[in-house]
Structure 1
Amino acid sequence: MPMPMPMPMPVTTTGIAANPVLRVPAAAPAEAAAHFRAALRFQTDVSDVAAALGSGDPGCVVLDCRSTASWNQGHIPGALHLPTALISERATELLDPSVPVVTYCWGPGCNGATRAALALAELGHCVKEMIGGFEYWVREGFAYETEQGTARRDADPLTAPVTEACGC
């Protein structure tokens, strides 16, 4: 049986095959730097949160915005529990507006941490979202608390380095 012919690449007006990555040109370096600098003002990751919490003086409050049942299933040690639906009525009594807040929810498929961060920002808090959420906290091998006590899983080698640090 003959092998099927590969599909031809789209051809640009110059006759060179179109690169799907560069179909929309990359931003100029200064524009890219501004974008990525801004992104880091709004987001942090689980490794940086773990390092901050491990320092003894994190300089921020880590806030789990999930339901009580989700909190009980597992949460980051030292995190404050405040479901998103309760932020408007309870944030003032629980949070110091001079201390930045890092929100987290389940994982990358959930925008609960984004909604919580928005609610807090609208109340005047400096806030960042922890990308990856609780899912990546656990997948990277960090300890978490449950109703039964503290637990930890081995790091998933597809999400975390098998050595001490990823080097980023």
Structure 2
Amino acid sequence: MSSVVSRIAAAPSQQALAHFQNLLQFETDCWDVHFAISNNRQDFVLVDVRSELLFEQSHIEKAVNIPHKRLTQENLIGYPAETLFVVYCAGPHCNGTEKAAIKLAELGRPVKKMIGGITGWIDEGLSLLGTAHA
């Protein structure tokens, strides 16, 4: 008797390998971002794509705030074309990262999503800056 988990067979190993390697081209996680920031290895711009008000209330250290609606060529003029942008929003219930990633990709900019957003950051036990968490 099979479960709902195994009822559809897993992909062949080579297909699974390609799939999961491809995911890492598009995503990173909270712990890897934290490790890079904490060890002076931040070779990306961490962008909080939430509103200015939410950013002021709490955000990740070393993040810049560019709400996804303001991601334009003009607002990115100070960043070299090869700059990797890592975007985050409130969490898995928010699609602000996808909206931001689409805009950045349309502008020809390298982009990754930090999965989990603020919710994931807190779940990892990491601290935030701002008035709500001061």
How high is the TM-score relative to the length of structure 1? 0.74
Partners of 1:134 and 1:90 lie apart in 2 by: 27
Q: 2:68 maps to which residue?
A: 84
Gaps of 5+ in 1: 1-16, 152-168
Q: 1:70 maps to which residue?
A: 54
**For the aligned residues, what is the CA RMSD?**
1.6
Please state if 1:120 is matched with 2:104. Answer: yes
Which has the greater radius of gyration?
1
Q: Which has the higher helix share?
A: 2
Q: Percent identity?
A: 37
Partners of 2:21 and 2:77 lie apart in 1 by: 32
Displacement of 1:89 after TM fit? 5.0
Structure 1 segments of 4+ aligned residues over 3 angstroms from their partners: none
Please state if 1:137 is matched with 2:121. Answer: yes
Higher normalized contact order (CA 8 Å, seq sep 6+, divided by chain length)? 2
**Counterpart among 9, 22, 30 of residue 38 in structure 1:** 22
Q: 1:156 maps to which residue?
A: none
Instruction: Output the amino acid matched with 1:38.
Output: N
How high is the TM-score relative to the length of structure 2? 0.92
**Counterpart among 58, 83, 86 of residue 102 in structure 1:** 86
Aligned residue pair count: 134
